[in-house]
Structure 1
Amino acid sequence: MRRAPVPPLLSDQLGRPVRSASGRRLGRVADLTVRLGPARPQVDHLLVRSGRSTGYLVGWADVARSTPTEVVLRADAHLLPVHPARPPLETDELLLARDVMDTQVVDLHGQRLSRVSEVLLGEEGLTPEVVAVDLGTAALLRRIGPGRLMLRYPPVAVAWTDLHLTSRRGHLVQLSTDAASFRRLDARGLAELLARLSTRKAADVLHAVAPARAAAALRRSHPHTGRRLVRALGSDERQRLMREAAATDAATIEELGRPTSAIQRRRFLRTAGWRLRRPPKG
């Protein structure tokens, strides 16, 4: 049986030596950045580390040659700005290894919460671009060693445009970006997303969409999820949503915001951590 071709992988890009134009070794590739927005975002910067506290944030346009064994830059070391442990990023920029790899994501198409095992790359010209992420176990095993025997298994790939990132940086960038994937979801899809996020992050998403859409998503949510989120919004935000919502949605929010008895508020700790309350069908 012919083995399927393996797409370029983020893990293979990391750890390669980086040299200046004069041949001086500057460090190793620690991460790659992309800017949220395009369906297949191109790599914007290389993060090069030399020790724990010193590094360079190099634009991909400044890369003269990139091979499987090393990266050579166009400039000499003295022309590159040195950055501390936290490199300056644009408001819509993400570090792929830090903010995507090994973090939890919501597959908006498959409606599931999973963890990223690998980032799949492609190339447009000479610049790598993010195509998808791999949520499969084989990709994780490949990275830690024994998985090299499992390359015959195809990736469990999810397109970049079907992801909602839950990492701290990923969450903040999506909230501030008009092209974030959650903004194109209908009320049902938004309710499915809210069910898989923490209360704080779900409330952030509700703040980021139009009030009428937020109210419609709350009406379609499981009553437990809707009640939890309505209370997290606070009375002022609740009233704002009700003013903008359709009559049926406003009535649901009003109902969800009413006080409940102590027995109804009781949480059963043995199941509260893992139970997924999906929106009702229909």
Structure 2
Amino acid sequence: MMFLAHLLDSPVCGKTDELIGKLDDLIVRIDHSPYPSISGIVVRDRGRRFFVPAAHLVGMNGVAKLNSSVVDVQPFRRRDGEVLLAKDVLDHQIIDISGRRIVRVNDVQLTKIESDFRVIGVDVSAQALFRRLAPKRLADRIQGRHIIDWDEVQYLASAAPVQLKVSYNRLTELNPVDLARIVDALSFRESAELIGGLDHETAADLLEEVSDERLADLLEGMDIERAADILEEMAPGAAADALEDLTRDIAARILARIEPEEAADIQEALSYDEDSVGRIMETDFVRVPMGSTIHEALQAIRTLESPPDPLLAVYVVSEQDPEELRGIVRLRALMLADPAMLIDDIMEDDLPTVQPEDRAEDAARILAEYNLLAVPVLDESMRLVGVVSVDDALAVLMPEIWSRRGARTHL
């Protein structure tokens, strides 16, 4: 195993051991390989910096040994896609995916695999930094390392001053709450870069969890079309909250680019007060007409392209009017019932309801008093317009605590 800090400034020698210069940096290309290979080294000699391809590098054990004594001493000019380990990785922040945190790289671990030298990890320990700063006579006495496998980290392309194509697909493994904490802790440039590498749905889940200030900055800084695509994937209430934090001009331009159906839902949410039931209610829920069997109700759920999340209950409506609420069946009761039974026989028809204009705190109180996971929302005409789940209510009452949970309530 080798470490970058030990390699830097080591002699670079040719085939017959003549001194070529000092090792100034190592070059890699961040690609889809879990362990990127060294593509070349930068050599420093009497004020000149020049490139030596990795094909000429045969060893790095105290001395960087080349298989040739002839090198091209044309001044080094970095190209797009090239990352310099000392300049762009060492002392920079990266994301520890398994640890769900941002870490500082204090050293880089390398090894030789067959004929290639590869980056295999980063040392984030304080000892690694102390070794680099301490006099050489003391550095070897400083023990301890904390190595994170390179395949478990996310490099941030903004650390390099050239164009890089970096995949952020691994970040989709993180809970949106954990990822939001990381985005809030990064610089605006880094967070914008990260968001830019995510698909619309993942970006929407993430942006629902970031701080209001960071959300507004990110939306105002991105392309209008991209912002509209992301807001379309958000819950209407969350999208409405986001638009309210933007300037009127930008909010109007984004809303104009959103698909009409989603835009109508967002505008409806905007018509309610910020702390009202109407702002937090979910309009995506499962309706089942009276007279359906349990089997038919379950089939209706299974055939949904995108079931509601969380799916806590199904709402029994009139056969003649799908907006006339007749009862509710909790998911647990539905799963345990005889498939041949009618939904009417197991539904609860004496449940409290709330209205869109009610305060969100009132919905939370009803959920607690009646031991419910969701409460229906009826408009002034007593028509079913939405549902408030315990998640939604508690997110209003205890936003910081609930966000840190990073979990949904399940039956």
Contact 1:108 1:193 in 2 (8 A): no
Q: Please state how far the C-alpha of 1:235 moved relative to its aligned partner.
A: 4.9
What is the match of residue 33 of structure 1?
27
Indicate if the aligned counterparts of 2:158 and 2:189 stay in contact, CA closer than 8 A.
no
Q: What SS does structure 1 have at the residue aligned with 2:42?
A: strand
Instruction: For 1:234 and 1:221, locate their aligned partners in 2 and report how far apart those are by CA, in whole Å.
Output: 19
Structure-2 separation of matches of 1:97 and 1:183: 28
Q: Give the greater-gyration-radius structure (CA).
A: 2
1:226 is aligned to 215
Structure 1 SS opposite 2:192: helix
Q: Give 1:23 deviation, angstroms.
A: 4.5
Aligned match of 2:149: 159
Query: How far apart in 2 are the matches of 1:171 and 1:183?
Result: 26
Q: Distance in 2 between matches of 1:45 and 1:242?
A: 44
What runs of 5+ residues in structure 2 fail to find an aligned partner? 249-399, 407-411
Give the share of equivalent positions with the same residue, in percent.
Answer: 23
Q: CA–CA distance in 2 between the matches of 1:180 and 1:19?
A: 40
- Where does residue 51 of structure 2 map in the other structure? 57
Query: In structure 2, do the counterparts of structure 1 residues 150 and 132 end up closer, same or farther at CA, with 3 Å as the change threshold?
Result: same
Aligned to 1:15: 9
Q: What is the identity, as a one-letter code, of the residue corresponding to 2:50?
A: Y
SS of 2:194 mapped into structure 1 = helix
Could you report, residue by residue, the CA deviation over 1:191-222 in whole angstroms, capped at 9, with x for unpaired residues? Answer: 23312211222122222322222122101223
How far apart in 1 are the matches of 2:53 and 2:160? 21
Letter of the aligned partner of 2:154 in structure 1?
Answer: H
- The superposition leaves residues 87-118 of structure 1 with CA deviations (integer Å, 9 ceiling, x where unpaired) of 333x3331111111122223232233332111
CA distance in 2, matches of 1:237, 1:221: 18
Secondary structure in 2 matching 1:69? coil
Q: Over the residues paired in the alignment, what is the CA RMSD in angstroms?
A: 3.0
The question of whether the paired residues in 1 share the 8 Å contact of 2:158 and 2:193 is answered with: no
Matched, 1:210 2:199: yes
Which whole-Å CA distance do the structure 1 matches of 2:206 and 2:52 have between them?
42
Query: After superposition, where does 1:103-142 map in structure 2 within 5 Å?
Result: 103-142=92-131
Alignment of 1:233-252 (within 5 A): 233=222, 235-243=224-232, 245=234, 247=236, 250-252=239-241
What is the identity, as a one-letter code, of the residue corresponding to 2:40?
A: H
Indicate which of 56, 59, 62 corresponds to 1:66. 59
Counterpart secondary structure, 2:182: helix
DSSP 3-state at the match of 1:49: strand
2:137 corresponds to 1:149? no
Matches within 5 A, 1:183-202: 185=174, 187-202=176-191
User: Shift in Å at residue 36 of structure 1?
Assistant: 1.0
CA distance in 2, matches of 1:149, 1:127: 30
Quick one: higher RCO (CA 8 Å, sep 6+), 1 or 2?
A: 1
Question: How many residues matched?
Answer: 250
| Counterparts in 2 of 1:130 and 1:169: CA distance versus 1, 3 Å | same
Quote the residue 2:166 is aligned against: 177
Letter in 2 for 1:36: I
Stretch moving more, 188-197 or 211-220: 188-197
The offset of 1:257, in angstroms, is 3.1
What is the TM-score when the length of structure 1 is the normalising length?
A: 0.74
Query: Is 1:103–1:167's contact at 8 Å kept on the other side of the alignment?
Result: no
